[in-house]
Amino acid sequence: MRRSFFRAPFLPYLLVAPQLLLTLVFFYGPALQGIYQSFLIQDPFGLRTSFAGLANFASVLGDPLYGNAVRVTVVFSGAVVAGAMLLGLILAAAAAQPLRGVQVYRTLLVWPYAVAPAVAAALWLFLAHPSVGIVGRALVRWGVGWDYTLNGTHALLLVVVASVWSRVAYNFVFFLAGLQSIPSSLHEAAQVDGATWFQSFRRVTLPLLAPTTFFLLVVNALYALFDTFAVIHALTKGGPGKATETLIYKVYVDGVVNLNLGSSSAQSVILLVLAVVLTSFQFRFLERRVHYA
């Protein structure tokens, strides 16, 4: 049966060809171009080009502002991953309970995922802006010196909250599915053995959720690193100062705004390596020890 499925030599390739073509054109092409560009010094128009060797990488890695972007990224990503996963887990644990109208809660909790990041950021702007935002104005009135346009900590907090909000729904869906796939007999057995709710959660639920958790950890890290551009762009543009300039935002600023293609390409190559490492890490671990860790 099985073998007959794959006998046609061309059909499978034909079927994946469109996807393959898209990946080649929109991923491999630009990635190779970026790697090539990272070894060049070139004016924006491509009129004058010279080979730079590793000079672009050296100047990126030697730049104290790149160190700043690394620090910002670590803090930002750590907070986003922790916040989004913790909230997702809490909400999923709550929605996994047999409650009245639980379907409604579940549906509502998924909604934020449908909001495009840029739109989400605009919503947060109208909430948090110190002079036009509802929450921002209230904070100012209560004497909190809230001003994310000038206070770096406030700005970082705001982009973290907005990014977490956009991501919680995704984590919620996965955690809920993970929780629902745990057989209730295991919990019942734990209860029979005299385990409290917390013990049962800690000893039964969490270990069985480990594959989901680990998957989400990697996926959320990739999200925080690469997909939060729109939120930062719409809310703070990396400022004030460079308080919210993450690595991916710096690639944009140096490449698109400052038109420094060599440096920007070198930075994106570094990020590419990071993404490859994170992803291979995920595959390694998911196939090995995460189950019943």
Partner 1 sequence: MSGLRRGAVYAAVVALLLVLGAAAGRAQAPRVQVEFWHALRGPLGEALESIVNGFNASQASYRVNATFKGSYPETMVAAIAAFRAGNAPHIVQMFEVGTATMMAARGAIKPVYELMQETRTPFDPSVYLPAVRGYYSTPDGRMVSMPFNSSTPVLWYNKDAFRRAGLNPERPPRTWAELREAAQRIRASNAAPCGWSTAWPTWIHFENFGALHDVPFATRANGFEGMDAQLLVNAPLYVRNLENIVQMQREGLFKYGGRDAAGDALGPSGECAMLTASSALFARYQREARFEWGVGFLPYYDDVKGAPKNSIIGGASLWVMTSPRRTPEEYKAVAEFFRYLSSPEVSAKWHMETGYIPITFTAIQRARALGYYQRNPWAEIPIQQLTRTRPTANSKGIRLGNMPEIRTILYEEVERALQGQQSPKAALDAAVRRSNEVLRQFQRTAGR
Q: How many CB atoms lie within 10 A of CB 164?
A: 24
For tokens 């073998």, the residue is: 3
Candidates 86-94, 147-155, 180-188, 278-286; binding stretch for partner 1 (CB under 8 A)? 147-155
258 binds partner 1 (CB under 8 A): yes
Buried b (16+ CB within 10 A) or exposed e, 99-114: eeeeeeebeebeebee
Q: How far is the CB of 121 from partner 1 (least distance, A)?
A: 14
44 vs 67 by CB, closer to partner 1:
44
Which parts of 236-255 interact with partner 1 (CB under 8 A)? 237, 239-242, 253
Task: Say which DSSP state 51 is in.
Answer: E
Which parts of 17-46 interact with partner 1 (CB under 8 A)? 41-46
48 binds partner 1 (CB under 8 A): yes
Q: What is the H or E stretch that residue 44 is in?
A: none
Tokens representing 268?
């994106």
141 binds partner 1 (CB under 8 A): no
Buried b (16+ CB within 10 A) or exposed e, 124-144: bbebbbbeebeebbebeeeee
Q: Contacts with partner 1: how many residues (CB under 8 A)?
A: 28
Separation CA 171–CA 85 (nearest Å): 6
Question: Binding residue for partner 1 (CB under 8 A) from 132, 138, 189, 273?
Answer: 132
62 binds partner 1 (CB under 8 A): no
256 binds partner 1 (CB under 8 A): yes
211 binds partner 1 (CB under 8 A): no
User: Cα-flanking dihedrals φ and ψ of residue 256, to 5°?
Assistant: -90, -40
Q: Which residues bind partner 1 (CB under 8 A)?
A: 41-48, 50, 131-132, 147, 149-152, 237, 239-242, 253, 256-260, 262
